[in-house]
Structures are given as C-alpha cells and as structure tokens.
Structure 1
Amino acid sequence: MTSAPTTRRRVLVLFGGRSAEHPVSCVTAVGVLNALDRNAYEAIPVGITRNGTWSAVRETPDTWTVSRLIGQTAIPEAEAASGSPLGAELPEVQEPEHPVALHRASTGIQLVDTVTHEVLSEVDVVFPLLHGPFGEDGTVQGLFETLGIPYVGAGVLASAVGMDKHYMKLAFQAAGLTVGDWVTITNRDWYQRRDQKLDEIRNLAFPVFVKPARGGSSLGITRVTDPALLEDAIEEARRFDPKVVVEAGILGREIECAVLDGHETDDPRASYPGEIEVLDETSGHQFYDFAAKYQDDAAAELSCPARIPEDAIDEVRRLAVRGFQAVDASGLSRVDFFYTPDGQWVINEINTMPGFTPISMYPAMWDRTGLSYPELIHELIELGVERGTGLR
C-alpha cells in the first residue's frame, strides 16, 4: 500500500445520480465519508439529484451514520433532526437552491456559467460513487477526462463496456474466457423481430435470467422458469433499459472475486473469492436480488474464502484479473463467475464500480483478504491520483 500524502488531498466524493441505483449510491457515500482518513484527505461531498443537478453538501461532520435503505435514514448525524441532503427512508439528493459550478483553473473550463453558491476549483481527485447509467457507464468519466481531473476507477471505455452486458460478454470471449449462452434484445428487435427473439430465448437452458443490459444492483431482473412468462419479464427489464439481455441458466455456484489495480506497471491483484448463500428457507429470495443485497440482513451470508479447492481458488483469482484486463479496467472491479459441478469456470459479469458500503461484497472480500475498508479507500484514491487522465 502507498504511503499517505504529506498534505491533505482534496477528494470530491460524488454520489446520487440519475439512475435507479441512486439510493444505493447515497448509502455508499455515507460509508466512504465515515471511513475516509481526515488527516490525509479533505472531503468535498457533492450529490447529483435524480434530474442531474449537482448539489454541494456543505456540512462535513466527523461522523456519518450508515443504515439500511428501507424505513431508516442515511444522513449526517448533525442533520438528523432537521432533514438531510441525503434524504430519508430511500436516501435521495435533494434539489439545491443553487447548483454547483465545477471549474478547473488549469484548463479554464467551467460547467455552469450561472451565479452559484460554491465553486469547486481545485480538487485533486474525484471518487465517483455512482452506480448505473449516467455515472458508471463512462459518461461522468469522460467529463473528468475533459476537465483533466483524476478520478477513482475505470476509464471511459472500460466503464462503457463493463456497463453493457452484451459488449462485456463479447470482450470476455475475445480474451478466451468462457461465457454462458445469451440473447440480446434491442429496442428495435422488440418491435420488429419480437417473435424471432422469443424463439431464440426458448432455445436457451431454463431457468433464464432476464436483465436490463445496462443496469445493476439486481434492479429489473427476473428469473423465468416458464417461457409463457418471458414477455412480462422482458417488459419489466425494459422499464430500466430498452436493451435487454436474457441469459441461460447455468448449473453452478456463484463465486465472486474483487480485483484491485496494481501501481504503475504492477499487475492487478485479486482478493480471496467469496460466495453468497441465499437462505431461501428463511428469506424467500430465489436469487441474490435487490432486496437480498440491501434490505434484508438475514437474506444471505458471505463465505470468504469460498469453500472450494485451493487450486480452484488460485484459478478464479487468475481469471478475475483476466476479466479485469479484458475490458481494460483500472482501479477496482468485482468479477462474478459460475463454478460448475465439473470444476469449470464460466464468467458472468464485471462491475467496474461495485457496491461499496462497508458490508458490500467488494470491500468485504478485501477485508477477509487482509485489506481493511479504510485502507482500501486510501489505496483506491492514491491509484486514481497516480493514474491521472489522458491516454496511458
């Protein structure tokens, strides 16, 4: 791990966003702000509302509270009595009276030319804790590249490929990784070739999983066992994205690995693999869905290292790094696999900005591997500064 900077870096912690994963991003931000070493970093929390307005969170209390999404609040303690910029119940960034102007003195670029309450002129690095479209898909990354501001995580291309499950699978195949069968349905397909696409899906191994092509946090996903229910499941996924992927069911255990970039020309590092066991008999969840991830403490438990043979652990760590490199990722990613009964690995997907609350899989796996949550945050920030912007 790199040493702490001699002067405090100014870290813009960006959260919220326009996607359906807005609440998860808010809770993630609270976890990061709470764990950030204030001796090494000056935090500048900025939330993005659901309609895209950037809002500075002026209060920066020493302690933030992290809680579940449903029926509780994720807010700064100082604001607990009077309302919070992070919202309540389902955390949400509220509309500000004055928007933020993000200005970069070194480039002379300013995003907002109206009179504003606060100008963020010289941040050292951005930690974009945004999930889903308009944040994890390369759009915000391109903005920071244009402004010349270093940021944590994947660049424009890797973010875009990692967000689109269709192109992600193509990249994995090109890198020699094994992927499961799938069918992609574009918006045009759904209106012009619906019957053809439904026939293609019926040839997949059931149950199938119907997913928004560019979504996360298990939102809009349906497990389908009966082909007669396919159209309803596709319409549900289309509420989140007009492009849908339908993946064949794969008999195997779901194993995940956290990847952390290497410094300079060092190779990326992989954590011990982890396995989530959904406790059907107590929780009623058929798979690791949104509710199991964020709303139900008793829904699942983490086994890390996963209870698999030592050689399988070594292999999946190696394959996770290959998946990371297949999409040209940087910073961090969580890579998900199926481990089949005959000992084969089938890669499922990569998340270039995985859930990052203290109990999320990515930091939990690194904690079990020997890197604590605060140490992981420090490492990611320093990797972002080191990476910089522009072609590398």
Structure 2
Amino acid sequence: MSSENSSQNPEQQRRKPRVAVVFGGRSSEHAISVVTAGAILRAIDREKYDVLPIGITTDGRWALTADDPERMAIQERTLPTVAGLAERTDGTVVLSVDPGNREVVYSEPGSVPKALGDVDVVFPVLHGPYGEDGTLQGLLELSGVPYVGAGVLASAVGQDKEYMKRVFISYGLPVGPYEVIRPREWNRDPAAARKRIVDFAGEHGWPLFIKPARGGSSMGISKVDSLAGLDEAVEEAQRHDPKILVESLLHGREIECGVLEFDDGPRASVPAEIPPVTSCDFYDFEAKYIDAANGMVPAPLTPEQTAEVQRLAVAAFDATSCEGLVRADFFLTEDGGFVINEINTMPGFTPISMYPRMWQESGIGYPELVDRLIQAALNRPTGLR
C-alpha cells in the first residue's frame, strides 16, 4: 500500500473497492472482449464496488470509455469496438508500474494529466494475444495490482495450444493427435511442411482442422477435406498467428466444463454439451456469437461420465497452475473416453456464453459469479505464490 493510502482518513479507508474492467485489445477477438465486458459491467454490484471501464483499442492504446453496457452488445450482427466507446480518440489511460502506487492517470494532448484515483483490482476480460496470454498479467504483476484470473505462466500456457497440449500430456491427460507447423518451417520449406501435414492426414485421416496455435473464438480455423484446400487454410490461420496447429477430426460429442476456484480449491460445474451445428461445418465464430447456437446445460451424461469430465477439468486446471477460473473443452469419443481439446483461462462471459450458464445451473448466478472472482482476486496475495 502506498504512503498516500496509509494516511487516508477513516472515511477514505472505508471507500468501496475500485474495479478496473479492462477489455478490447489488439487481438482478432477484440469485439468479443467488448461484449464480455459489457455483460460484466452490467452485473457488477455498484453498491459494493466502484467501477472504472478501460478499453484497449485495436492499435494498443488504453482509453477511458463510456460505462454503457447497452452500447457494448452485438447489434444486428454489428460487432462493438473500443473506438466506438472511447470518450476521446486521443486520450490515454496510464497505469503506474510502481507497486507502491495504484493510481490511474488520464492524459489528453495539450492538457494537464488528470488523476482518476487508485485501482484495487483489475478484471481483465481480454481474449487472445496481448491480453489473455500473460502479457497483461505480467504488467499487472509489475504494477502490484491484484487481478482476476490466471497468472503469467498459466495464461501463456493456456493461450498456446501446442504447449498446453504438452503440459496435458506430461500430466497424463488424454489429448488427441496434433501436429505443429512453425512459421520458419512454412516460410523456408513449404513443401516439406506440407508433406508433414499430408503424412499426418495419411496416419489419422481427412478432414483436418487447421487453426492458429494462439487464438480463440474459433477465428482463423478451417476444416480441410483434402490437399486442395490446405494452402488456403494455412494462409487463413496465419492471418491470426504465424504458428499453426493441425488436428485430426475426433468423432464424438463436444463437452465443456467450468472450473471455479473456491477457498478449499477448484471445483467443477455441471458440464454442458455443444450439439452439432447444422448451419456450418463446425462450431465456428458465427455459430458461437452471431447465430447464438445454444448448448445443452447440463449435458445429458451418465453420473459416471459427469464425474469423470469434472475430474479431468479440475486436473487440467491444476496441471497448468491456473487461478480463478477456466473453461475446459472435451470430446467424448465414440469409444466412451474423454479427450481434452483445450482450456480457456478467460472464457467468454457474454450473456449466451457457456461458462456462466454452466455455473448458473450449478447454483451460482452471473452476478455472484462475477463477485466471487473479484473477491478471490482481492484476497489473493500478489507476487510469487
């Protein structure tokens, strides 16, 4: 705590905790982050917390934005942006990197910087690179500001699907077949890289899924049925991340499970099932957020299957050293076993997102879920833990 805070009078010390909701960002998931932030801003108890919305534009500028959840929703298939919410296009918000000073300052060209007061906790709801991958978490660690969700390592591992799978394998968790093509491999010898993918298909069969190794919201993913569409799929994936992941098609049901950290450790929610989508080849961005394909909560599983997927979800949470929350995604294969596909360390929190829906069915409503995450961050020690 700074000397300024320690010298506050009793009334100042009794002020409500201040939550900075940070959203937007430079990744291709910018708009979904804005939608998520709108839902969280709507749910935060204003009698209990002061709230400061901070949006990060697509070019990385931190902006002071309107506290207006209605403008942050998808409107007639139009996605919201931080630029459309910023109070000024040239103003900048700065968070101190001095651990003894949690003050946020707002600057405009030609004006004296204005102090916006201290921040007690940050709720980062950025998705993808430059926010969910440990970069923002590292900045907050340097600043000494508590924050919701996974730390630097878990965020980085949870963002990079290659290393996520490597960690899962090292902990004995079931993982499907995959191949990784790094940018230098594709750039230096595309024929050799292409052959590796074709050999992979020869072993595991077509179709293949070509996806960015560090991305989310199903952006940049293509389903490829033959060699003819491979180069185009790689090019699409590399628009989001130069490193790509190649996965075989797993025949089975898509099952998701939420994990939430309690005082006595992480617990799993009831699982959900994503039914087959008939309007497209797979559960892509349009199906998730525009057409709002609905999952089944709870998933129609046997008690034994439910217990097993909950066990695996908590094991994945622990294997990656996560904190706060995780959504774990699985396939229930035709032979009756579960295969973990990935985890999301900051899953979607939109009104239709599966993570809050699973916890709603588990007895924790959206406002309580948000409050639990904020309180856990406020009570978590900063620094190495």
TM-score, normalised to structure 1, is 0.87
The match for 2:92 is 99
Contact kept? 1:100, 1:116, Cα under 8 Å? no
Once residues 268 and 112 of structure 2 are traced to their aligned partners in structure 1, the CA distance between those partners, rounded to angstroms, is 43
Say whether the 8 Å CA contact 1:152–1:381 is kept in structure 2: yes
Distance 1:224 1:116, change over 3 A: farther
Unaligned runs of 5+ in 1: 1-5, 75-83
Q: CA deviation at 1:124?
A: 0.8
| Equivalent-residue separation in structure 1 for 2:250 and 2:306 (angstroms) | 20
SS of residue paired to 2:118: coil
By how many angstroms is 1:234 displaced?
A: 0.6
CA distance in 2, matches of 1:221, 1:32: 28
Q: Matches of 1:111 and 1:197 in 2, distance apart?
A: 48
- 8 Å contact kept, 1:104–1:110: no
What are the within-5 Å matches in structure 2 for residues 13-32 of structure 1?
13-32=21-40
Name the counterpart of 1:10. 18
Tell me how far apart the structure 2 counterparts of residues 39 and 112 of structure 1 sit (CA, whole Å). Answer: 24
| Aligned equivalent of 1:291 | 286
Q: Specify the code of the residue in structure 2 equivalent to 1:51.
A: D
1:159 alignment partner in structure 2:
155
- 1:78 corresponding residue in structure 2: none
RMSD: 2.3
CA distance in 2, matches of 1:192, 1:311: 49
Equivalent residue for 1:126?
122
Per the alignment, residue 81 of structure 1 pairs with none
Deviation at 1:7, TM superposition (A): 5.1
Deviation of 1:72 after TM superposition, in Å, equals 4.6
User: Matches of 2:173 and 2:132 in 1, distance apart?
Assistant: 23
Distance 1:135 1:121, change over 3 A: same
Give yes or no for the alignment of 1:46 onto 2:54: yes
1:388 is matched with 381
Amino acid in the other structure paired with 1:319? L
Aligned residues: 366
- Taking structure 1 as reference, are residues 70 and 215 closer, same or farther at Cα in structure 2, changes over 3 Å only? farther
Could you tell me whether the CA contact under 8 Å between 1:7 and 1:40 is conserved in 2?
no
Q: What letter is aligned with 1:288? A: Y
Distance in 2, matches of 1:245 and 1:144, equals: 30
Task: Specify the alignment match of 1:147 in structure 2.
Answer: 143
CA contact (8 A) 1:278 1:285 kept: no
Alignment match, 1:267: 265
Aligned to 1:79: none
Q: Distance in 1 between matches of 2:152 and 2:251?
A: 34
SS of 1:303 mapped into structure 2: coil
Aligned counterpart, 2:73: 67
What are the residue-to-residue correspondences of 1:222-371 with 2, within 5 Å?
Answer: 222-263=222-263, 266-280=264-278, 284-297=279-292, 300-371=293-364
Per the alignment, residue 375 of structure 1 pairs with 368
For residues 317 and 112 of structure 2, the distance between their equivalents in structure 1, rounded to whole angstroms, comes to: 40
CA distance in 2, matches of 1:49, 1:352: 21
Q: Identity, % of aligned pairs? A: 49
Contact 2:97 2:139 in 1 (8 A): no
Q: Distance in 1 between matches of 2:36 and 2:92?
A: 22
